[in-house]
Amino acid sequence: MHLSKRLGAEFLGTFTLVFGGWGSAVLAAAFPGGLGIGFAGVALAFGLTVLCMAYAVGHISGGHFNPAVTVGLWVGGRVETKFVIPYIVTQVIAAIVAAAVLYLIATGKPDFAVGGFASNGYDALSPGKYGLVSAFLCEAVLTFLFLMVILGSTSARASAGFAPIAIGLALTLIHLISIPVTNTSVNPARSTGPALFAGGAYIGQLWLF
């Protein structure tokens, strides 16, 4: 597959993952009147977006949508070195574009306040005020487990066609566990987009994610 098609697929997949999953947190998680979708809804939104886009464009690019996944698959011998940097750059750009579009939508509400913009953080910036060590362990363990699910479900020995389901469910579970701790990253691109709009301390803590 030509590189431009691969990068187009990665851009579309990452954009949709960030816009759909993170957008649910910004626009719908705590909607007034008790109609918000809450943590569980946000977790499901992330899982559904990665599942849908893996089926939609995964056959073109491999469906990474995440620099951590690209690096993990490269270490596992599943990705050629020549694709690593272009994939990562494309994923980060897609996440920033998704954040920009979501910012334009969210600021259309008169009383909208950017605040943390559903960014990732620790200490005072953690939803549950978890410290740096807790945040690091949570992200490290869950990123490792996510990569294990991806590597296992996409193995030649695994049942064909079911990988996106396993990956989507795994990402849902990861968010159910870690939203209170870090707002869930396990994806450097997803972390970068929101932080650039939240600014300040969120950019200062971006290194962890």
Interhelix angle 3-17/38-61, nearest 10 degrees: 170
| Confidence band for 115, pLDDT divided at 50, 70 and 90 | confident
Q: Summarize pLDDT for 141-152 with one digit per residue, the tens.
A: 999 999 999 999
pLDDT at res. 160:
83
Query: Which range marks the domain in which residue 169 is found?
Result: 3-208
Q: Summarize pLDDT for 50-64 with one digit per residue, the tens.
A: 999 999 999 999 999
Burial (CB count <10 Å: 0-12, 13-18, 19+), residue 108: exposed
Q: What is the mean pLDDT of residues 129-136?
A: 98
Give the chain's domain count: 1
CATH number at residue 129: 1.20.1080.10
List, in order, residues 6 or more apart from 25 with CB less than 8 Å away.
42, 45, 118, 183
